[in-house]
Amino acid sequence: MYQQSKHFDLIFISLVTYFGFSQTCLLFFAQLSQGQLRVVPTIANAKVYYFGNRSFSALKFFNRSNEAVYPIWNTIAGGNSSPTWTSEIEGIYNIADSPDVVFDNDLTTEYTNCGSCSSGSSSMLITCGENTGWYLSLGNRFFSLVAFYIGTNTKYPQRDPLTITIEGSNLQRDELIFGWSWTLIYNDSTGLVSNPGRSTFGVLQIIPQFPLPYANYRVLITSKRGIDTCTSYTEFMMIGY
């Protein structure tokens, strides 16, 4: 199966093997820009994902229409969400562009959040922008996240997020601010560890567990590349079904 989008090429290859009565699918992802697809033998350090008896043609990119995306800061996985749209403390140093732009398929519009730092150059720290992010509510829809790409910001490599947490929830809107409503599904690299350049997608990252359907996703930046006032990125492209 082969899918193409405006900004990059992605190839999905699937093999179906049978072990006894259960059916197992081995799925290999590769970006065409990486030159060639390597078929990894399972005796090597391969990542093997079991998707049940499901057609891979069901894998899709998530396209946002009017689903709400809420900016948050001062939040860690498992912890309560702190909204950035209320200036709860006068003079708290945070700015937040709208996080909607991470779903607009445009590698020139970016989401910037400084967390507890000022956007002025007087407070430049490696930690600025950590523990910031957003959560997405799909309403009554569900999406099972299989993999994702992050798009780099337009100007500042030092603002690139390097590690993130991703959590899912199926609770109701008012409960989503509480940490207990979220389940951690990913705590690892953004795929930007090696700087791919500006306004560019990083390396495809795969969720290392069986994809469950969630109606809400929360993404938090846990580290960034360098010393700067904020973290900033253009896209969060979700692949799943």
Ligand X SMILES: *[C@@H]1O[C@H](CO)[C@@H](O)[C@H](O)[C@H]1NC(C)=O
Only one of the segments 57-65, 127-135, 172-180, 209-217 lies at the binding site for ligand X (rule: CB under 6 A); that segment is 57-65
Question: What is d(CA 128, CA 115) in angstroms, rounded to the nearest whole number?
Answer: 6
> Using CB under 6 A, which of 78, 139, 208, 226 touches ligand X?
78
The site map against ligand X for 112-151 (x = CB under 6 A) is: ----------------------------------------
Phi, psi of 84 (to 5 degrees): -95, -5
- For residue 62 the two structure tokens come to 């998530």
Residue 53 touching ligand X (CB under 6 A): yes
Only one of the segments 30-38, 59-67, 88-96, 154-162 lies at the binding site for ligand X (rule: CB under 6 A); that segment is 59-67
Residue 12 touching ligand X (CB under 6 A): no
C-beta of 15 vs 39, nearer to ligand X: 15
Residue 61 touching ligand X (CB under 6 A): yes
Q: Which residue has 């360098």 as its token pair?
A: 226
Residue 60 touching ligand X (CB under 6 A): yes
For residue 143, the Cα-to-chain-centroid distance in whole angstroms is 13
Specify the 3-state DSSP secondary structure of 228: strand
> Using CB under 6 A, which of 16, 39, 46, 184 touches ligand X?
184
Specify the 3-state DSSP secondary structure of 187: strand
Question: What is d(CA 13, CA 28) in angstroms, rounded to the nearest whole number?
Answer: 5
Residue 150: other Cβ atoms inside 10 A: 27
Q: How far is the CB of 6 from ligand X (least distance, A)?
A: 9
Residue 221 touching ligand X (CB under 6 A): no
Question: What is d(CA 168, CA 93) in angstroms, rounded to the nearest whole number?
Answer: 28
Specify the 3-state DSSP secondary structure of 100: helix
Residue 1 touching ligand X (CB under 6 A): no
Residue 28 contacts residue 41 (beta carbons within 8 Å)? no
Q: Which residue has 């199966």 as its token pair?
A: 1
Q: How far is the CB of 109 from ligand X (least distance, A)?
A: 18
> Using CB under 6 A, which of 10, 26, 27, 77 touches ligand X?
77
Name the site residues for ligand X (rule: CB under 6 A): 23, 53, 60-63, 77-78, 165, 184, 187
